[in-house]
Amino acid sequence: MGYYERHIFFCLNDRENGENSCAHHGAKAGFDHCKSRIEAEKLGGPGRVRVNKSGCLDRCAGGPVAVVYPEGIWYTYVDAADIDEIVDSHLERGKVVQRLLLPSHVGR
């Protein structure tokens, strides 16, 4: 096992040239909510969960996006309730949230 059991990265990229990007779809709010939940539930730290910001993950068409490692599971989300489901199901119990999976064909 690595330093963290699970590591979730939130794309916060902001394309200022008008191209679609996660920052234009509430990515920062999703990141902030996830970070708060992990802290409130005491799920963070070594051997547990780490929440990180990321630059472009090149899946802009599905934004906002987050990816959980070590499984390499890609999610899209709409609101805090979606983030809660990812935290409660995947980050805490290891069960993938099927309804929020980003289809494999979605790219930039």
Residues of the chain with pLDDT > 90, as a percent, come to 86
Q: How far apart are CA 11 and CA 3, in angstroms?
A: 22
Q: What is the tens place of the pLDDT at every residue in 33-73?
A: 999 999 999 999 999 999 999 999 999 889 899 999 999 99
Neighbours of 105 (CB within 10 A): 7
Structural domains in the chain, sorted by start: 6-100 (3.40.30.10)
For residue 5 the two structure tokens come to 């059991």
pTM of the model: 0.94
Q: Tell me how far apart the alpha carbons of residues 81 and 78 are, in angstroms, rounded to a whole number.
A: 8
Name the band, by pLDDT with cuts 50, 70 and 90, for residue 1.
low
Which residue(s) pair with 45 in the sheet? none
